[in-house]
């Protein structure tokens, strides 16, 4: 463990983000082991119990080695959003720093990272009439029509989601209708430091082809590790009645495709290929978001254990030892 004399008032908080499968978790964990550090997980799905393999949750050994926050803290049927995380994570980080420990934030959930670093705009409350009209239009015209409208009005916001994210799609159009301003305009106006924490946001970068190869390989490894059985258990618990009701937590790549397989909508082979495709699409949206909406320093992702340990060592000594 590295010992560095940094007072709690000016301890930096590393934020390690980037697209899925870029190696964020391994880097954060290795860096945390070199410090007296605790890890804040900025992954919107790892907070839910039972979603382990499909969310690439830290292993039991990793959880024993390092104190982790926002892992296995909620049930799947509980609601939790980026605003909740921004508030809760800020409090936890302050508590960690006050104890004299270091904190490292790691994760790729775009709104979680943005909310923590920048705060959120004061968005209007839901308008039942406008929402009903949008949801009616969603049923009659389809999600693609609404998505195309958002693309024409607020292309930056549209680039951070896709037509399947109907809740965010409807909410974005609702905000535009109520305020006359785009979500991007409102969020840009709200970007200001709202607390005294010194964040150092870093994003891992690697060639697109290599990233996609990692995604495909990791999907195969997840299937070999028992993702099918994990998804079936969740399907039996939460979706087997086929009432149409679903929980937002389960609208997650890796699970929803397997749920469709269980429901006879396509073969297992097709489900696995869809997981790979949808994960690649998600990574592309993450990259768009980080480049357009956040001020992050891009660094080359480690490609092997040697470069992983070297990068972790460099980060620790550059930001924590003076």
Antiparallel, parallel or unpaired: β 12-17 and 198-205: parallel
Assigned token pair, 83 = 């605003």
List the end-to-end C-alpha distance of the chain, in Å, as a whole number: 16
> Cβ distance 66 to 37 under 8 Å?
yes
Q: What are phi and psi of 189, to 5 degrees?
A: -65, -25
33 is annotated as contributing to ligand binding: no
Question: CA 220 to CA 172: how far, in whole Å?
Answer: 35
244 is annotated as contributing to ligand binding: no
> Cβ distance 160 to 289 under 8 Å?
yes
Continuous segment of H or E residues that includes residue 220: helix 208-224
> Cβ distance 248 to 171 under 8 Å?
no
Question: CA 21 to CA 17: how far, in whole Å?
Answer: 11
> Cβ distance 32 to 308 under 8 Å?
no
23 is annotated as contributing to ligand binding: yes
87 is annotated as contributing to ligand binding: no
Closest CA to 13 of 43, 33, 34, 39: 39
95 is annotated as contributing to ligand binding: no
Closest CA to 43 of 117, 94, 110: 110
Assigned token pair, 19 = 């697209």
Question: CA 153 to CA 116: how far, in whole Å?
Answer: 26
Question: CA 17 to CA 203: how far, in whole Å?
Answer: 5
22 is annotated as contributing to ligand binding: yes
307 is annotated as contributing to ligand binding: no
108 is annotated as contributing to ligand binding: no
Task: Specify binding-site residues for ATP.
Answer: 18-25
Task: Specify binding-site residues for substrate.
Answer: 20-25
Task: Specify binding-site residues.
Answer: 18-25
């Amino acid at each position: 463990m590295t010992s560095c004399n940094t007072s709690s008032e000016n301890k930096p908080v590393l934020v390690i983000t980037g697209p899925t499968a870029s190696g964020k978790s391994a880097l954060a964990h290795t860096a945390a082991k070199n410090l007296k550090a605790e890890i804040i997980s900025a992954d919107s799905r790892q907070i839910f119990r039972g979603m382990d393999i499909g969310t690439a949750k830290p292993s039991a050994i990793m959880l024993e080695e390092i104190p982790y926050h926002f892992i296995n803290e909620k049930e799947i049927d509980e609601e939790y959003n980026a605003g909740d995380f921004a508030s809760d994570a800020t409090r936890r980080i302050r508590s960690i720093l006050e104890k004299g420990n270091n904190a490292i934030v790691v994760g790729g959930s775009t709104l979680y990272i943005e909310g923590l670093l920048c705060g959120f705009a004061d968005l209007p409350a839901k308008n039942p009439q406008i929402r009903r009209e949008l949801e009616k239009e969603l049923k009659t015209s389809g999600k693609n029509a609404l998505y195309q409208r958002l693309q024409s009005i607020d292309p930056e916001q549209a680039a951070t989601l896709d037509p399947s994210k109907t809740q965010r799609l409807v909410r974005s159009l609702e905000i535009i209708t109520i305020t006359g301003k785009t979500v991007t305009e409102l969020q840009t106006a709200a970007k200001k430091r709202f607390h005294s924490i010194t964040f150092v946001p870093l994003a891992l970068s690697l060639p697109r082809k290599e990233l996609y190869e990692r995604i495909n390989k990791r999907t195969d490894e997840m299937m070999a590790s028992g993702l099918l059985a994990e998804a079936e258990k969740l399907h039996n618990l939460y979706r087997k009645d086929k009432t149409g009701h679903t929980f937002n937590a389960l609208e997650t790549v890796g699970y929803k495709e397997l749920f469709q397989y269980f429901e006879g909508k396509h073969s297992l082979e097709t489900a696995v290929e869809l997981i790979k495709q949808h994960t690649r699409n998600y990574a592309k949206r993450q990259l768009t978001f980080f480049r357009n909406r956040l001020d992050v320093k891009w660094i080359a992702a480690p490609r092997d254990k040697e470069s992983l340990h070297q990068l972790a060592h460099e980060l620790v000594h550059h930001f924590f030892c003076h």
